[in-house]
Amino acid sequence: MKSTKARILVVEDEPAIAETIQYALETDGFETVCVATGKPVLSLLEEQQIDLIVLDIGLPDISGVELCKELRKSDRVPVIFLTARKDEIDRVVGLEIGADDYVVKPFSPRELSARIRAVLRRVRKQPEPSPARGFRIDDSRRRITYCGAALDLSRYEYNLLKVLVLRPGHVFSRDQLMDLAWEVPESSMDRTVDAHIKNIRIKLKAVSPDIDPIVTHRGVGYSLREDI
Ligand code: CA
């Protein structure tokens, strides 16, 4: 029989904290899977149904923040960050990397458990983010279709357009776009984003010459029009 318990992946390198969390969550009726490094997380998500990740920011192999950004490229699994430093959280929230909540160490296991329940309730009510009208995203083929035509996009053009298309109306700064769409942020930030947006616009225009779905916000960044 398939278990109906929510399965929580705990990514924490300090054994004492990991054990405390595991014990508390299992006592509270969750199933847990624990790993001490970030590397196994992506493949674990492919192998198992994971309902939520409790992710320590300070991991030995990869920062939890980087890992979360990586996850967000393909997955909507909710993430609650664990951090020892409140100032890390300001950065995380500022970057909008898509964490659902955070808990600052030291925390009580009961508090963490309550946060997990709250996030799961919220997420279960929400539909999957749907792309802007006119666009279709096929992640497995890394393909975006616009007005029925498949766009021929480079790797970063695809990543960038996907970010915009999934949140129509939301204004992203160039830094945010760089952060969300690039595996390794490059140095010539602004111009790189601008150059790719320019190419994307040309490709969209080739499909539908009268509409420019991308809005430039001078001195800020870009958004995708909501009213197309
Ligand atoms: Ca740690």
Q: What pLDDT digit, counting tens, does each position of 96-126 carry?
A: 677 888 888 999 998 999 999 999 988 877 6
Collapsing DSSP states into helix, strand and coil, what is residue 105?
coil
The pTM score is 0.58
| Per-residue pLDDT tens over the stretch 132-158 | 889 999 887 889 999 999 999 998 999
Which protein residues have their CB within 5 A of the ion that is ligand 1?
A: 13, 56, 58
Ligand 1 mean position, distance from CA 107 (Å): 14
Give the Cα separation of 196 and 189 in Å (integer).
11
Measured CA to CA, the distance from residue 131 to residue 188 in angstroms comes to 29
Separation CA 207–CA 71 (nearest Å): 31
Strand partners, 216: 222
Please say whether the beta carbons of 217 and 223 come within 8 A: yes
Instruction: Please list, in sequence order, all residues whose beta carbon lies within 8 angstroms of the beta carbon of residue 38, skipping any fewer than 6 positions away.
Output: 11, 59, 61, 62, 63, 64, 66, 67
